[in-house]
Amino acid sequence: MRCGGMVGAALVGALLATAVAAAGPQALTPAATPADGSEVVPHLRHADSIAAGLLAEGRRRSATFRALADAVQAADVLVFVETSPRLRGAGSTVFVGHAGATRILRVRVATPGCLNALVATLGHELRHVVEIAEAGDVQGEESMAAHYERTGLRLPPQSQDVRRYETVAALLVEGRILDELRHRASKVARR
């Protein structure tokens, strides 16, 4: 994919920190107090500042990304998003465990990279989170693998003990988010 050159991790971090500061904390999670006065626990959390910026950028610039983030917030999952320069592939979603009835997942996005591509990759992984959230039978690594054996495409392994899967829905979402990000950027450039 061509994205106008690779953006270094420091530059991406600076751009995303600016996005988080401009959007404010509300860009990362929905409102913290529902009508009944109880506190909402964010189901989508960041583990580092680049991940926080990607979440903010995605929510700010893509309606599809916002809808995925809202679906995650409404689901019985807790998702930790982190970035990693050592990740094989663009992104991954893994089952971590449970906290009561809540399933815990970790989403990782490979850095450095083009800002739009990183946001779209995160959206792709959030689509996988929604797929898992909608599958009540996914309660661990084995049942997650069984789910994707039925519903997804099995990819060649990157190492001996890692099973990899893909879904058409996640690929389509990634493309849609990229289109939204490009469209928004071109509208800004024309002003």
Helix (H) or strand (E) holding 116: helix 115-134
Tell me what pLDDT residue 156 has: 84
Helix (H) or strand (E) holding 161: none
Q: What strands lie across the sheet with 44-46, from one edge to the other? A: 44-46, 77-84, 102-110, 91-99
What is d(CA 94, CA 107) in angstroms, rounded to the nearest whole number? Answer: 7
> Domain range holding 63?
41-186
Tell me what pLDDT residue 150 has: 94
Low-confidence residues of the chain: pLDDT under 70: 1-40, 159-161, 185-191
In a domain, 14, yes or no: no
In a domain, 116, yes or no: yes
In a domain, 167, yes or no: yes
Q: Is residue 46 exposed (0-12), middle (13-18) or buried (19+ Cβ within 10 Å)?
A: buried
Contact 169, 122 (CB under 8 A): no
| β-pair partners for 11 | none
Q: Return the number of other C-beta atoms located less than 10 Å from residue 140's C-beta.
A: 13
In a domain, 4, yes or no: no
Tell me what pLDDT residue 188 has: 52
In a domain, 36, yes or no: no
In a domain, 23, yes or no: no
In a domain, 50, yes or no: yes
pTM of the predicted structure, to 2 decimals: 0.80
Tell me what pLDDT residue 88 has: 84
Tell me what pLDDT residue 161 has: 66
Tell me what pLDDT residue 40 has: 63
Total number of domains in the chain = 1
In a domain, 27, yes or no: no
Tell me what pLDDT residue 176 has: 98
Backbone angles phi, psi at 89, to 5 degrees: 90, 175
Q: What is the pLDDT of residues 152-168, one digit of tens each?
A: 999 887 766 678 899 99
